[in-house]
Amino acid sequence: MTDLQYPIGRFTFPESSTAEQRQQWIREIARTPQELRAAVSGLSEEHLDTPYRPGGWTVRQVVHHVPDSHMNAFIRFKLALTEDQPTIKPYDEARWAVLADAALPLDPSLDLLAALHLRWVRLLQTMSELDYQRTFVHPESGAWRLDQYLAQYAWHGRHHTGHIRLVASVR
């Protein structure tokens, strides 16, 4: 049975990372916009408005959530690279998912994600070993190293693409 909430499994924090692992995670982040676009390709409006699991978001909400989340992550990277252990501002993703822009057609968010990832991947590719050890503080979950956050966002794109593929597989 497929785990509808975690179709690719839960995220596990790496205690450390190698340059090779980070390069793999960067490649995954680079692929996310194309993979998300491919996952929704050909889906009907009915499918776009179908939750991926009981009580879960619709495909449309998931697609709009990914750039919302990744924009926050990109800014958090930049804050951690330019400030000493900044405290970041959390946001209520569930409340964001019901705002009016989460009902728009998908193309604006898919295009936004592609542009964002172009910039983010360039930044990630130029970071040093020491840069990846920099941290920020999340008020609810504590300190995060940038290599750990990179791993989480590589997973995050696959995680939500997996949700969409669940809905697409039953069409």
Structural domain of residue 81, as residue ranges?
19-168
Number of domains in the chain: 1
Rounded Cα distance between 161 and 29, Å, is 12
Task: Decide if 46 is inside a domain.
Answer: yes
Residue 3 domain flag: no
Q: What is the pLDDT of residues 93-106, one digit of tens each?
A: 999 999 999 999 99
Residue 7 lies in a domain: no
Distance, in Å, from the CA atom of 125 to the CA atom of 77, rounded to the nearest integer, reads 13
What global pTM score does this model have? 0.95
Asked whether residue 6 is assigned to any structural domain, the reply reads no
Q: Domain with 126 in it: what CATH number?
A: 1.20.120.450
Contacts of 170 (CB under 8 A, 6+ apart): none
Q: What is the mean pLDDT of each run of 10 residues along the chain (171 residues)?
A: 84 94 98 98 95 94 98 98 97 97 97 98 98 98 97 97 91 62
d(CA 131, CA 135): 9
Residue 87 domain flag: yes
In a domain, 4, yes or no: no
